[in-house]
Chains A and B, each alone.
Chain A
């Protein structure tokens, strides 16, 4: 059993590497197989690869891995198959922060011209927004024991923030509306090489915390009463799980916009493939499958009949929703609590 898992692990590393190669080398003009083999590129090819393709592919891997692993955490802690990294209102908090910056800046500093993605202002605003919303949820979680109530509160907070965002949109000029709309569609290409220096360690730290929490997650599957009689401190473990999720999902929303459906869908694919409930196994393979799916989704955005790229969020939604429908129809026994 264990040896089999190690073999599967190694083949997933290889598979990720192959998809990564397809992602970065695909559709580059005048690129021959031999130049890939000898890593012998022309100057333009070099620039395309090192400045655009490779940072974007690395971003795709980080986004896919981070969202999927926090999807496992949220589905476990809420014991709900529809829970995902954004269920706590993390993305709506981020979008409120971004909306305030984009609409506020355009209203008060109309002369300032800042590009939407790449801007640290946007990233910090998204972080702050999701962080504040998470702090609210944590404060409530300290008083309210029932995890389903917390789930519903997270959703309500999400509605409240999007109501505020709507008001901001209504009173804002058209030019900033488009910027905000583009942010909500998500983008993998917006993370620059310098930003990656921060993005990579954050996601790695988030993933390490998540993996260390595997045992706690396994016990939490039994429900909180059982977990407490097994010596688990519910508040402390919730705190750590929420923190790692906001580190992962909050940063991803900050750098790439709210990318949907990956976090909800990938854990289900892993459950179907591996027939396991072990959080460690689920998280490890969610990292790979999440990364592979984001790399493929990124390739798909390039196959376009129009100029530019398709919005990544539409691709992930069209991919994820059928799988969620399949899971809901086939696992009613597991889902009805």
Chain B
């Protein structure tokens, strides 16, 4: 090595911002003691949106797996919680396990869905979601389109239920976000981005494409399932048409596109914006939906990198960095304009054919 270098993954600014975000999460634990019931309910809704946005972004923005069927896992998380609760599992454990159930379902369906490419995968996921919705509707407990309720939650006093559901949502959001952040900063995260950019080239540099896709797919399903379980805990009632509705994925796409696809911070910003827009204009009915759709189209055409993506490029903002920056000292600039004449180390002996399976 003729140059000294260091690899920077954190800056002082990103350390401070990450610490502040972590501190905010801890501070939010106190919200049920401080804020009104209405605010606590709204914050719980926001947590659901954040989880949906960051997991869809991880799947599509980092993994290149554009799905319009993530409502499958949202609905299945809620359905699983109802089933487990009726089987006698304590209700909040049932809710958490419902989310895990979506991850298990994703692991199973990944064996055939991940063989599909691009548009086939996107539409195939939607079809699969509709199929599972029909199967869930056939469950006698669900009573078709009528649905059912998570009756076990009625044994809690309203204030206690609200606070417990809030904390469940907060922990689910923080847990999923932390898991994704660590994953995206890992070697696997970089491999996923390589697959997104060029699957053939990723394979040619040794990336286990199917394994990497499967991990991201399962993790995204875990997030959507947890979000569905939290939503069930807030509303108590479950109707297949609502929980398996494609509007959930439409929300995920909107939040990710507006915030900034392929950035870690963007979808969080997108979720906050969506939450604010819904609070301000949600009562407008169909015009609200038209406005949301028009905004999504506008961002896709005019600001495809989203608000955070634009800010990141304009101001080099990285509050939660997942990439690598090479800092060099003593670079011989004259050698930067051609192939330099020097040696690289020999190939390592440890990885050779003896590993063959």
A and B interact: no
Q: Which A residues are within 8 Å of any B CB, using their own CB? A: none
